[in-house]
Amino acid sequence: MDRRSFLKKAGLAAGATASAATLAAPAVAQGKRELKMVTTWPKNFPGLGTGAQRVADRITQASDGKLTVKLFAAGELVPPFESFDAVSSGTADMYHAAEYYWQGKHKAFNFFTAVPMGLTANELDAWINIGEGQALWDELAAKFNIKPLMAGNTGLQMGGWFNKEINSLEDLKGLKMRMPGLGGEVLRRLGATAVALPGGEIFPALQSGAIDATEWVGPWNDLAFGFYKVAKFYYYPGFHEPGSGLAVGTNKDVWDSFSKEEQEVVKSACLAENNYMYSEFNYNNGAALETLLTKHKVQLRKFSDDVFDAIAGVSEEVVREVAGTDELSKRIYDSYIKARKDIGGWGKIAEGSYLENRERVIG
């Protein structure tokens, strides 16, 4: 097995042999292993950055320090969008990120974060945890020497921040908007220019005029980034990310070297964070939206039916085209769309009708 060199941990005996410094990564000392986790998020950023830190801490604590995970925020060890390559090659052991950032490697990665008009957070969890999602994801990621696990969700995202009102499709033409993933391709086909930027670069780009609009996550994170200072029109609903799953990807050589118990520790830590983060976003978004509207006088706007319907139609075309990438993409697409129909049909009857009636009766 080809494994990278590691640096000896502080405290190893000075007389240790030179060959000990070339043992396989992650670093091993006195029966313990040190893992490097890189992220695409700013350090300690609420929800995303802190969620990545919680995963690292959960693994460390649940393993009683046998697996000690050290977190490196975006840019600390590698640039944010180089996290995938770092883990694939073994420069780092794990990443915490959104899988659609890797669509340049394979377009089917989009399905494991979010695709336009796709699965909500609850539906995505059902497909991954109970349906065919995890097995298909494993098959895809293994091509790049990575073992993936769901480890967070931000829920349904807002439509974005704009420096002008969007009253028709004409208003999208020529617009420069930060939007990664397949949502960006939808915008391009509607005449806009889609730009992929890591989180830490969005505000200065919006402030300078390098972009005219941006989506990010939702009120809680958008408030923290201060987008209200440079754009006052806040649109909903988001079409591009109805339930954005976040992932921990582990170098597959490292994963395969774990004992069964260690693998279960990592799985459990990721599952716990997946649930916790989604709860955290749901709890904080409401209060943050109220602050944006009342304190910062943000103007909340809903996309017109004409605009949203046109976006939805193009979205279906863009997502369907991914199925033509290769045989594996076709299987992932077919499974995903079936899940959207089956799980979504139940959701409409159950939660959808309940929420509609609750709003009608008690507001």
Higher pLDDT, 114 or 28: 114
Give the mean pLDDT of 274-284. Answer: 97
Record the tokens describing residue 16, joined without a space: 């240790």
Percent of the residues in the chain that have a pLDDT greater than 70, as a whole number:
92
Asked whether residue 4 carries a pLDDT value surpassing 50, the answer given is no
Percent of the residues in the chain that have a pLDDT greater than 90, as a whole number:
88
Using one digit for the tens of pLDDT, what is the confidence trace for 164-178? Answer: 999 999 999 999 999
Using one digit for the tens of pLDDT, what is the confidence trace for 187-237? Answer: 999 999 999 999 889 999 999 999 999 999 999 999 999 999 999 999 999
Q: What is the pLDDT of residue 9?
A: 32
Q: What is the pLDDT of residue 194?
A: 96
The alpha-carbon radius of gyration of the chain (Å, integer) is: 21
Sequence-separated (6 or more) residues with CB below 8 Å from residue 203:
225, 226, 227, 230
What's the predicted TM-score (pTM) here?
0.88
Q: What is the pLDDT of residue 31?
A: 77
Higher pLDDT, 31 or 135: 135
Give the mean pLDDT of 306-312. Answer: 97
**pLDDT class for 363, splitting at 50, 70, 90?**
confident
Q: What is the pLDDT of residue 30?
A: 64
Asked whether residue 340 carries a pLDDT value surpassing 80, the answer given is yes
Identify the structural domains of the chain with CATH numbers, from first to last.
25-156+243-282 (3.40.190.170), 160-240+285-327 (3.40.190.10)
**pLDDT class for 17, splitting at 50, 70, 90?**
very low
Q: What is the pLDDT of residue 217?
A: 93
Using one digit for the tens of pLDDT, what is the confidence trace for 119-163? Answer: 999 999 999 999 999 999 999 999 999 999 999 999 999 999 999
Report the alpha-carbon angle 56-60-65, nearest 5. Answer: 155
First to last CA, the chain: 61
**pLDDT class for 29, splitting at 50, 70, 90?**
low
